Amino acid sequence: MTRIAIVSAMQEELAAVLALMQGQQKQTIAGRDFWQGQLHGREVVVVLTRIGKVAAAATATILIERFGVQRLVFTGVAGGLHPSVQVGDVVVASEFLQHDMDASPLFPRFEVPLTGMSRFEADAGLSRELASAVRLALPEARLHLGLIVSGDRFVSTSLESRALQAVLPDALAIEMEGAAIAQVCADYGVAFAAVRTISDRADDAAHGDFMAFIQTTASPYSAAIVAALLDRLT
Ligand code: ADE
Per the document, the length of the chain is 234
CB atoms within 10 A of CB 113: 10
The structural domain count of the chain equals: 1
Would you say the CB of residue 14 lies under 6 angstroms from ligand 1? Answer: no
1 pLDDT band, cuts 50/70/90, is: low
Q: How far is ligand 1, taken at its centre, from the CA of residue 229, in Å?
A: 24
CB atoms within 10 A of CB 101: 21
| Residue located nearest, by CA, to atom 1 of ligand 1 | 78
Which ligand 1 atom sits nearest the alpha carbon of residue 175?
9
Provide the H-helix boundaries in the chain: 11-19, 53-67, 124-137, 158-167, 178-188, 210-213, 219-232
| Cβ pair 175, 164 in contact under 8 A | no
Q: Is the pLDDT of residue 234 over 70?
A: yes
What would the pLDDT profile of 6-38 be if each residue is shown by its tens digit? 999 988 888 888 888 988 899 999 999 999 999
Q: Is the pLDDT of residue 97 over 80?
A: yes
Closest CA to 179 of 95, 107, 77, 117: 95
Identify the pLDDT of residue 26: 94
What would the pLDDT profile of 169-222 be if each residue is shown by its tens digit? 999 999 999 999 999 999 999 999 999 999 999 999 887 788 889 889 999 999
Would you say the CB of residue 175 lies under 6 angstroms from ligand 1? Answer: yes
Would you say the CB of residue 154 lies under 6 angstroms from ligand 1? Answer: yes
* Mean of pLDDT over the chain: 95
Would you say the CB of residue 203 lies under 6 angstroms from ligand 1? Answer: no
The Cα 203–Cα 96 span in angstroms is: 21
The Cα 230–Cα 234 span in angstroms is: 8
| Residue located nearest, by CA, to atom 10 of ligand 1 | 175
| Residue located nearest, by CA, to atom 9 of ligand 1 | 175
Domain hosting 93: range is 4-232
3-state secondary structure of 117: strand
Backbone φ, ψ for residue 62 (5° rounding)? -65, -45
Identify the pLDDT of residue 2: 64
What would the pLDDT profile of 127-165 be if each residue is shown by its tens digit? 999 999 999 999 999 999 999 999 999 999 999 999 999
**Strands 42-48 and 32-39, sheet pairing:** antiparallel
Spatial CB neighbours of 201, under 8 Å, sequence gap ≥ 6:
79, 80, 86, 87, 161
pTM of the model: 0.96
Q: Could you give the C-alpha distances from 208 to 173, 182, 205, in angstroms and in order?
A: 18, 29, 6
Residue 105, preceding bond cis, omega within 30 degrees? Answer: yes
Q: Decide which of 103 and 12 is more confident.
A: 103
Q: What is the DSSP string of 78-107?
A: EEE-STT--TT-EEEEEEEEETT---TTTS
Would you say the CB of residue 123 lies under 6 angstroms from ligand 1? Answer: no
What would the pLDDT profile of 36-77 be if each residue is shown by its tens digit? 999 988 999 999 999 999 999 999 999 999 999 999 999 999
Give the domain CATH number at 202: 3.40.50.1580
